[in-house]
Structure 1
Amino acid sequence: MPDDGPGAAEPFDAAERAAVYKAIRTRRDVRDQFLPDPVPGPVLRRILEAAHQAPSVGFMQPWDFLVIRDIDRRRAVREIFARANAEAREMFKEERQGAYGALKLEGIVKAPVNLCVTCDRDRGGQVVLGRTHNPEMDLYSTVCAVQNLWLAARAEGIGVGWVSIYHADELKRLLRIPERIRVIAYLCIGYVDELYERPELEARGWAERMPLDGLIHEEGWPEGR
């Protein structure tokens, strides 16, 4: 019988450590670079297993994973996105609308697999260990699952794009998601043969990565900020 007690907390060796940091450093949000090649079942299972290994408050594991391959359903999702995307474009100042429109966001149909990650906020019952004073911890836990999946996908040579522009009620109706369930992420998943060296929005001049030194504060929030 395996021992369920604590085991050795040994650091990774140099090659293992480098691989972890490489996955973190080179992970990208893929928008338009997906290949049509199918994602084999065992590979998809591995990245879903990685997501399922994420930490969760009270070990409630609030996530579910809706795998969407049907092209007609993906086209319907793209229509939901397109309506919201047109609204989003108008929210930016006129000088940025052209740059926004130039961003190619075709992964919903182009990627062979879409994945909707949800959070069941009732799964742990009314009182959940660790959520008693911060009720949003289940949402944060589900985001951890998305990050696990993303890094595992990068290690497999698979790109992931996070679609966040949609009206959740429309998406839930299309995918028959119950009202009480929260949609956390809609992801496009597929092989890619190239990735941006830097995040695409940085490479295209939309924004720059902030210097880390300006974001680290010792002992508390800095005065005057």
Structure 2
Amino acid sequence: MNRHAYTDREREAIYRAIRERRDMRHFLPDPVDEAVLSRLLEAARQAPSVGYMQPWRFVRVRDATLREQIAALVDAERRATAEALDERRDDFLRLKVEGIRDCPELWVVALCGERERYVFGRRTMAEMDLASASCAIQNLWLAARAEGIGVGWVSLFEPDALARLIEAPPGAVPIALLCIGHVEAFYAAPMLEQVGWDSRRHPDELISIDRWPGA
């Protein structure tokens, strides 16, 4: 018996949140309780970060005009992405890829400026700032699922344009738009899997011993 392990019920709750987390696109208009939002932010704040740099910053979008400007950015990138997909263009255009105009909460997640001063763990891999912020988003996402709140991560935007809209300081880089809100139901499986866009990789494709898988 590992004395550091959680109880069976506690472990199952954690693994259930991981299994049932979904990238949501459909939201109800009901507002999310402020206490719940505070818990989600605290979950994000508790995320690990390389060199303890904590590079994540959150902007809660409350202004309707700003939200519409952000939605227009996403619409433009959606069209550009469709053209870049060539033969999958029409399949992509049929997808609902965001819920920006529908969700009650829209948050911008960005990397802070002046990240060059964080060298610990980033000297050879500067992108570890992005990895760290992604951990914060995942923490928030899993906490939201436990709270019964849906989250959708939208990356269809031009970062510099979004940075200008939120008046970010020099060097700050938006990396995500998070649509947050109540949902009618969580998808039984990832939406892109349900529509046949792709499928989850088998474990044999993902892990090997000493050499690259299949080498």
Q: What TM-score range do you get, normalising by the shorter chain?
A: over 0.9
Equivalences for 1:102-181 in 2 at 5 Å?
102-122=94-114, 126-181=117-172
**Superposed CA RMSD:** 1.7
Structure 2 match to 1:97: 89
Q: Name 1:3's counterpart in structure 2.
A: none
CA spacing shift, 1:138–1:155, aligned 2, 3 Å: same
Runs of 4+ in structure 1 deviating by more than 3 angstroms, as ranges, are none
1:95-127 Cα distance to aligned partner (Å, 9 max, x none): x2222111123511100111111112525x625
Q: Which amino acid aligns with 2:79?
A: A
Deviation at 1:214, TM superposition (A): 2.1
Bigger mean CA deviation after superposition, 128-137 or 158-167? 128-137
Alpha-carbon distance in 1 for matches of 2:214, 2:190: 32
Do structure 1's residue 207 and structure 2's residue 201 form an aligned pair? no
Query: Helix, strand or coil for the counterpart of 2:106?
Result: strand
Counterpart for residue 56 of structure 2: 63
| TM superposition score normalised by structure 2 | 0.93
Match of 1:84 among 57, 77, 83: 77
> 2:151 is matched by which residue type in structure 1?
V
Please say if residues 69 and 112 of structure 1, whose CA atoms lie closer than 8 Å, have aligned partners that are also in contact.
no
CA contact (8 A) 2:113 2:170 kept: no
Q: Choose 195-204 or 125-134, whichever is displaced more.
A: 125-134
* Aligned-partner Cα distance in 1 for 2:19–2:118: 37
1:108-163: CA deviations, max 9, x gaps? Answer: 1100111111112525x625322233222222111100100100011111111111
Which residue among 22, 34, 38 is the counterpart of 2:16? 22
Q: Secondary structure at the match of 2:177?
A: strand
Is the contact made by 1:62 and 1:142 (CA closer than 8 Å) also made in structure 2? yes
1:30-51 CA-to-partner distances (Å, cap 9, x unmatched) read: 11x2000001111001001000
Structure 2 vs 1, CA of residues 28 and 146 (structure 1 numbering), >3 Å: closer, same or farther?
Answer: same
Residue 127 of structure 2 aligns to which amino acid in structure 1? E
Which structure's CA Rg is the greater one?
A: 1
Identity within the alignment, %: 47
Asked whether the 8 Å contact 1:121–1:138 carries over to 2, the reply is no
Gap runs ≥5 in structure 1: 1-7
- Which AA in structure 2 matches 1:55? P
Partner of 2:6: 12
